[in-house]
Amino acid sequence: MPNYRFQVKAQDGQMRSGMMQADTAGAAAAILRNQGVHVMSIDAIKVGGGTSGLAETLKRLNSSKPNQKHVLDFTTQLAVMIRAGINLRSALDGIADQTTHAGFKKVILEVKQDVESGKQFSEALAKHPKLFGPLYINMVRASEMSGSFSDMLERIAAYISQELETRKMVIGASIYPAIIGLLAVAVTVFLLTFVLPKFYTVFEGKEDVLPWATNFLMTLSNTMTANWPFIIGGVALVGGGLYAATRTELGSFWVDKLKLSIPVLRGMFRSLYISRSLQTMGQLVNAGVPMLDVLTITGDISGNKLFEGLWRKVHASVKQGKKIAAPLQNNGLLPRAVVQMIGAGEESGKLGEVLDQISSYYARQLKDQIKTVTGMIEPIMIIVMGSIVGFIAMAIILPIFKMSQIVS
């Protein structure tokens, strides 16, 4: 019979811990609850030598944190099991047994223990806000009130799946330009610090007759080779400062504003934020979540400070009794046609359906814009990289060509 280490809270508020034997963790929890205590945690004690314990410790240290892919798999499995008529506790227990990720398995077991202790499923999920965000928790809470638990889980799984797909597309579109940009910088630094210094002896003393490009590159090369520790330190300092600045409220605001201002990228980012905001809003409205909560969550999940501010304004307006479409007029972030459709959805009582249709349209538009942006950036980056390398090569070759003509 396995051993379990437990921690409980007695009726007088005192915490106590110990070890016990039971067939399962659920059986151990039931025994403890029968003693009139509140179960805080139950962990299985693995029997083994020091080597096994060390291996287990290393495995825990090397394991990555749970992510949204784990949440998607969990939600999909749970929806299928609930629809099949399996009760929530048994479903959580079964999913935990099948989960190979140690960190996420621990989360599922903690949720199961909270449910067994009498908490609502949404309350148990709320203890893990980094994994189960406000949208997830509020949709589950709404389904608990309406009784459409399995349908809501399927809707949540579809939402998470689309979010992961969108994130994958955006990241995929940015990988190639990033690689080309890093390659261009690396090649330029290599030419200036390793190739150009080999021509110093050839060009030395002839600075007056050399082209301006050659003189400029020689000066730049000398500066880089003589002061490379300071340059690296300065670049690291500036990079760290910029990164720290973007983590501040004001810095992140300007970064988000820049995303919506860059000519090539602003259309893609605009579609991304509109699709994400309206999809979130539509899912919550269809789930029956109160409108003020819908607007708060939509702002938090939008992913852009400007859109977050917009939805906060809408929240304040709706709180005063106004309609959603009123503060969206002439905002500059949402197209006028979108605002008109939102207003029509409010008037007809089909706001959720309208929001779903608009978000689906912008999701398709986002895919097209990602392809367009990727197609534009690739040749631009190649031209920029070729121009830089070509400029350096010509600055080296032209003086040699001229000197060979003079000698001949």
Going along the chain from its start, the domains and CATH numbers come out as 3-62 (3.10.20), 68-161 (1.20.81.30), 165-408 (1.20.81.30)
- Report pLDDT for 118: 84
Q: Within the chain, which residues score under 50 in pLDDT? A: 47-54, 57-58, 61-62
pTM above 0.75, yes or no: no
- Report pLDDT for 306: 92
Using an 8 Å Cβ cutoff, are 204 and 211 in contact?
A: no
- Report pLDDT for 1: 64
CA 342, 291, 160, 158 torsion: positive or negative? negative
- Report pLDDT for 51: 42
- Helix (H/G/I), strand (E/B), else coil: 48: coil
- Report pLDDT for 237: 93
Using an 8 Å Cβ cutoff, are 135 and 282 in contact?
A: no
- Helix (H/G/I), strand (E/B), else coil: 38: strand
- End-to-end Cα distance, the chain: 96
- Report pLDDT for 50: 42
- Report pLDDT for 406: 59
- Which positions ≥6 away from 285 have C-beta within 8 Å? 291, 294, 351, 352, 355
- Report pLDDT for 404: 67
- Report pLDDT for 226: 84
